[in-house]
Structure 1
């Protein structure tokens, strides 16, 4: 029985998304492909390891002329795999200052690599846009820190006289400088808050997302427990689904979680993964983005799954994060896969805007960054890249319609 594991993106990428909505898009494609058949879902919350849960969404078909007493046919099951809370829990209860400093330190630490990527020829062809993005993050994080010198405006002459008795001359000079400097920084910061109404909220989300990604990639933070939970979910599916043929449906950073499970560092995938996962689907996979800024992340990966799975990759050439696994930013067949591995994805190009419409204004307003959310609409009834995936899955006999 074909069974999918849905692994969503992280932070901003998961806004208003769910496994139920993802399954609903497949039902819509089924309805467009057939006539005389009704499709519906049944949703069940299952526990696969102590307090770890997943939503199981099963797609059934019921021919309109079939008696209601006759049992409906199960076509496909989706399970969602949640990892967001594990990655974000370190930052959820931290204040804005902590998150801001974390983002600032991350940008400063990666900036030399960002500069190098502008001039070093790699397969990642969107370094200019991401450089501008990181520059904006640097300005955003600095703007919050620049608020604090404004607090020195409360220091009047009497207070300064009192402070002189407890500080040395050079410390007094620093206070005077910061007080004068705050006269410039406070208006600038105020303007930023006025013209970017949700700047604090945006900064909080950005800080949490990028710092957690950095910690996962750079230090392996939470990676072992996440991969352990993934193995537990696969084990549950193997034990509870009839002859499961498992497909991984992944979006954005979820594709990195999946690649870690299929091609782990210094070890082999568990037997349930080796024997039962047959298909990997990546949408907007940031493989080349990560490989450019973390060049050792995909090194020393085991290769057992290369001959076990097929790989469908959906990308947009306008998406600053999506990988087309080519040496240029053009639509076409993939030219390589994971570093040093034999597996090369089947590329599916999905665009909702013409490339010539993206100009200097689009660059400055980070349109290439926001295009990362363009693979489907918030509504489950809108058009999406699901049609391309569904068609390719049928072509490869991974999704069959029973009549």
Structure 2
């Protein structure tokens, strides 16, 4: 039986990236690649407590069946790190999230411009331009939502203008009243057609702030790496000579790389010796280097015995990264040619459509960012990139 630790990406608003959905997609890929059509498959789901504070991990088992027998062939564990990443913002109001978000975005503009002017870093100009465009649009969105507060005050003041205690407020905002009311009306219309947008934007802001704190200051990193190590330790206690794979999507790939290749501290014994394969899907390595330059530089491999790393990317996805054909990028990450000679890093490009067909208008509509969700569909019976992951 093979064991897998699954690290999902951030955000579940538009795409089902849960452990159960991942396991179902994987089960479909296993079934389609099995030359024996008589084999059938099913899954079982449960939650397992793995730490003294009651922290749980989702567990999904994939069973292979024939007429006479049934065998558990995969057991997948989900490391739910999102609760730790955004825990400090849990329950906070939208202003408390978007004001820090705006400050963070503005502070990162210098890094993006510096990246745009640099050459030979392995990041395409298209990705850099779309990263800048994405940041500017998000800045406008943050400003727009922050301005809702004076807009609401203007609306209240206009209703209660006959109360003398609010006259000073009405006079102060009179010159801006038309603009504020236009913002409030436009937001009301926006909420009418997209009633969930407030929650979606609020969650995205919390995740971006949490990710920024993690990448900039290492906030919650010790906790998350400790929890991941504990989960691996509990898995290893299930038998003798237990090995496992790590499968990670999007920001989960960052945590996987941090666990395997930390900057200074050595990874745990199990991580160094028991990981047989790393699978990263849509790894935002280059995108992070644009905003947080040198984040991945000078990592230590510390005797990690990882034999195979499969990196699934897409030419359409500006958040994904390619490593093959760029030795400078590899050596900046881990500066040992011997390491890269001993360890395979296999890039698998997964394009659902021809990248040359993407127009400039589609780029303006964030197609390169939305393509980050094109490794699978919400429907678990759809085609997915996991056909490249399953070992036949």
TM-score (norm 1): 0.84
Distance, in Å, in 1 between the alignment partners of 2:77 and 2:380 is 18
After TM superposition, list the pairs within 5 Å mapping 1:315-326 onto structure 2.
Answer: 315-325=313-323
Alignment equivalent of 1:194, drawn from 182, 189, 210: 189
Q: Secondary structure at the match of 2:50?
A: strand
Q: Provide closer, same or farther for how the CA distance between residues 95 and 13 of structure 1 changes in structure 2, counting only shifts above 3 A.
A: closer
Alignment equivalent of 1:180, drawn from 156, 175, 180: 175
Please list the CA deviations of residues 232-254 of structure 1 after superposition, one character each: whole Å capped at 9, or x if unmatched.
11111111144322100110000
State the match for 1:376 in structure 2. 376
- 2:3 equivalent to 1:3: yes
**Deviation at residue 305 of structure 1 after TM alignment:** 4.8
- 2:67 equivalent to 1:54: no
- 2:25 equivalent to 1:25: yes
Q: Provide closer, same or farther for how the CA distance between residues 158 and 18 of structure 1 changes in structure 2, counting only shifts above 3 A.
A: closer
Contact kept? 1:5, 1:248, Cα under 8 Å: yes
**Deviation at residue 193 of structure 1 after TM alignment:** 4.8
CA RMSD of aligned residues (A): 2.5
Matched residue count: 371
* 281-290 or 267-276, which deviates more: 267-276
State the match for 1:330 in structure 2. none
State the match for 2:145 in structure 1. 144
Distance, in Å, in 1 between the alignment partners of 2:13 and 2:200 is 13
State the match for 1:38 in structure 2. 40
Q: Secondary structure at the match of 2:351?
A: coil
Q: Provide closer, same or farther for how the CA distance between residues 312 and 162 of structure 1 changes in structure 2, counting only shifts above 3 A.
A: closer
Q: Provide closer, same or farther for how the CA distance between residues 158 and 92 of structure 1 changes in structure 2, counting only shifts above 3 A.
A: closer
Distance, in Å, in 1 between the alignment partners of 2:231 and 2:311 is 23
**Deviation at residue 149 of structure 1 after TM alignment:** 3.4
Q: Secondary structure at the match of 2:389?
A: helix
User: Unpaired segments of 5 or more residues in structure 1?
Assistant: 164-171, 327-332, 395-403
Distance, in Å, in 2 between the alignment partners of 1:158 and 1:74 is 73
**Deviation at residue 62 of structure 1 after TM alignment:** 2.1
Please list the CA deviations of residues 18-43 of structure 1 after superposition, one character each: whole Å capped at 9, or x if unmatched.
22221222221222223221222233
* 212-221 or 137-146, which deviates more: 137-146
Distance, in Å, in 1 between the alignment partners of 2:252 and 2:13 is 10
Please list the CA deviations of residues 181-240 of structure 1 after superposition, one character each: whole Å capped at 9, or x if unmatched.
342243145335525743433421221121111011111111111100100111111111
**Deviation at residue 160 of structure 1 after TM alignment:** 8.7
Contact kept? 2:310, 2:347, Cα under 8 Å: yes
**Deviation at residue 256 of structure 1 after TM alignment:** 0.6
Distance, in Å, in 2 between the alignment partners of 1:10 and 1:187 is 33
Compare CA radii of gyration and give the structure with the larger one: 1
State the match for 1:385 in structure 2. 385
After TM superposition, list the pairs within 5 Å mapping 1:336-351 onto structure 2.
Answer: 336-337=329-330, 339-341=332-334, 342-343=339-340, 345-351=345-351
**Deviation at residue 373 of structure 1 after TM alignment:** 0.8
TM-score (norm 2): 0.87
Distance, in Å, in 2 between the alignment partners of 1:89 and 1:15 is 22
After TM superposition, list the pairs within 5 Å mapping 1:221-240 onto structure 2.
Answer: 221-240=219-238
User: Unpaired segments of 5 or more residues in structure 2?
Assistant: none
Q: Provide closer, same or farther for how the CA distance between residues 145 and 41 of structure 1 changes in structure 2, counting only shifts above 3 A.
A: closer
Contact kept? 2:59, 2:78, Cα under 8 Å: yes
- 2:114 equivalent to 1:116: yes
